[in-house]
């Protein structure tokens, strides 16, 4: 290869930036992203190809959990570089023929984007030449109600995603926003949460001497209780 030949670059948006805008054809009609989803959280995720086993297991799982995500004010939007007719045929096959882990007759009702030009996949840095030049890796973008990217997770082609973790991350993000806290390692709703670090020596001293609801391991590491019921009452739609 000519060492002077220009190689294609694949940019990737960053956490805290506005989600790149695009218009697309999907299995649920045309969308204008992310403006059509203003006021909702969105999980935009890519998969390598239709009619592949790992992707099939993932779509069945996401479709089965869609109601759970919707109740947390989160919409799901899928993407691959296949065409719309391939998408439709694949989703029909899933509903009519595939039974997996007790899931059967699964209907995928969230939109699946056609991206045969790879325009959207390129905008979001979903193409990884080291993995494939023609398939998007398993990217996951959490986008908040203001259209800002809040979390990004990437998986290689061979690794199926953990959907319980995706749901946990969504609830953790919403909890942090709602209550002004952070979540520790392996946090689940109902576990203690982390109070923002003290901003002054006086506050740090007060925290260490306090007998209130906070528990301080040291001046910079304090937690408090936040019940699962309190969290879900704020986040989950009745």
Which residues form the catalytic set?
55
Over its C-alpha atoms, the chain yields an Rg (Å, rounded) of 21
Task: For residue 112, give the nearest of 79, 88, 142 by alpha carbon.
Answer: 79
Nearest in space to 45 (alpha carbons), one of 154, 183, 196, 164: 154
Give strand pairing partners of 29. Answer: 26, 27
Report the largest interatomic distance among the alpha carbons of the chain, rounded to a whole angstrom: 69
Contact 17, 24 (CB under 8 A): no
Q: Is residue 125 within 8 Å of 17, Cβ to Cβ?
A: no
Question: Cβ(128)–Cβ(10) under 8 Å?
Answer: yes
Crossing angle of helices 84-97 and 53-71, rounded to 10°: 80
Segment holding 88, helix H or strand E: helix 84-97
Q: How many CB atoms lie within 10 A of CB 89?
A: 14
**For the chain, counts of helices (H) and of strands (E):** 6, 10
Sheet bearing 29-33, strands edge to edge: 29-33, 22-26, 112-114, 74-80, 41-46, 138-143, 149-155
Q: Is 14 one of the annotated binding-site residues?
A: no
Binding-site residue set for substrate: 138
């Amino acid at each position: 290869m000519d060492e002077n030949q220009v190689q294609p670059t694949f940019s990737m948006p960053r956490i805290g930036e506005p989600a790149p805008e695009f218009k697309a054809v999907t299995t649920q009609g045309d969308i204008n992203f992310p403006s059509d989803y203003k006021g909702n959280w969105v999980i935009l995720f890519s998969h390598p190809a239709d009619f592949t086993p790992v992707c099939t297991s993932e779509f069945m799982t996401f479709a089965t959990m869609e109601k759970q995500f919707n109740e947390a004010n989160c919409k799901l939007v899928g993407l691959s570089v296949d065409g719309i007719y391939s998408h439709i045929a694949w989703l029909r096959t899933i509903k009519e023929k595939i039974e997996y882990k007790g899931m059967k007759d699964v209907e995928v009702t969230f939109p699946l984007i056609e991206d045969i030009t790879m325009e959207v996949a390129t905008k979001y840095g979903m193409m990884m030449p080291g993995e494939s030049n023609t398939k998007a890796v398993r990217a996951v973008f959490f986008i908040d109600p203001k259209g800002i990217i809040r979390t990004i997770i990437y998986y290689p082609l061979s690794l199926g995603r953990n959907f319980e973790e995706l749901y946990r991350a969504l609830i953790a993000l919403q909890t942090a926003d709602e209550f002004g806290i952070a979540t520790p390692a392996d946090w689940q709703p109902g576990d203690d949460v982390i109070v923002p670090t003290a901003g002054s020596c006086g506050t740090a001293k007060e925290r260490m001497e306090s007998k209130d609801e906070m528990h301080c391991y040291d001046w910079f590491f304090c937690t408090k209780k936040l019940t699962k019921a309190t969290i879900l009452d704020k986040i989950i739609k009745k």
